[in-house]
Amino acid sequence: MTSVLVTAAIPQSALEILKAAKLDVEMYTGSGLITKDDLLKRIVGKDYLITPLSTKVDRDVIDADPQLKIIANYGAGFNNIDAAYAREKGIPVTNTPGASTVSTAEVTTGLIITLAHRMVEGDKLMRTKGFDGWAPLFFLGHELAGKTLGIVGLGDIGQAVAKRMKAFDMSIIYTQRHQLDAATEAKLGAKFVSLDDLVAQSDVISLHCPLNDATHHLLGAAEYRQMKSSAYLINAARGPVIDEAALLTALQDGEIAGAALDVYEAEPHVDDGFKQLDNVILTPHVGNATVEARDAMAAIVAKNVVLVDQQQAPKFVVN
């Protein structure tokens, strides 16, 4: 019987799809993430691999299993996998695009609103010393209406964020490698600008670009200095898209007003400096952490494995 290694617990719906196809499934259910040593032992003799984006699949892992026929990544990103080397070995690498769009857009929207209105700060205050009562100048935040939202990467998630924040009467500007068609821009009310102009003009910058050589540290010390001192930065894309150390310095020096991070440069590590700042929201990579999104992702990876087992081409091949 052909076998599947699943390197983290995933929804039962995926296991049912795999078992219905009469595949032997081994799923890692240990505490914490699977270690490389454990992965190297378990991968031997497996035909298919399903792995979350938190598990690194490098040359060592790929070479440990010569009969591997697919690496189905449970996530929209795939920078955890040496996809180029897998291609050399004739192994397709797939991801789960689209499934995360609604959830990540909703989380991003929530972070923008929460940061601007200082809700996390307010919750902390009420759980500690409390307040003396309503006062005209007490605990002021900012309305989003009439402000400018700059989106870096207007793909599916970026567009979903634009749609939601347009309803808050924000002006939308965006930047990416290629400008969108005029009809899409008109529908979203979005204007294409350069990265420099976006950084300088935005009251809120939200990142939704993939991580690659061109976007690594796309925003760093120079960009933070160009931002408005009243601006906020939201990162629900990939941690290394920003220079995190430079961001911490910019926040400590008051160069920008605040930040909300759902992803981190050395994930899961978070610099303790961010934890000391009241104008920073930190969430544990929950952009697509909904039952609906994770079920949709589970269906994609399981069905892709079944397609390969049936000698058909899988969907969403990234290499």
Whether 265 is a known active-site residue: answer no
- Which of the residues 87, 117, 225, 267 is marked catalytic? 267
Identify the three-state secondary structure at position 90.
coil
Whether 267 is a known active-site residue: answer yes
Identify the three-state secondary structure at position 98.
coil
Cis? peptide before 268, omega within 30° of 0: yes
Residue in 238, 205, 212 with CA at minimum distance from that of residue 75: 238
Report helix angle 101-116 to 291-309, nearest 10.
Answer: 150
Whether 255 is a known active-site residue: answer no
| Pair of tokens at residue 185 | 């821009």
Q: Of all helices (H) and strands (E), which one includes residue 113? A: helix 101-116
- Which of the residues 118, 238, 265, 294 is marked catalytic? 238
Torsion of CA 104, 154, 264, 271, to 10 degrees: -110
Sheet containing 48-52: give its strands across. 24-27, 3-6, 48-52, 70-74, 93-94
Q: Catalytic site residues?
A: 238, 267, 285
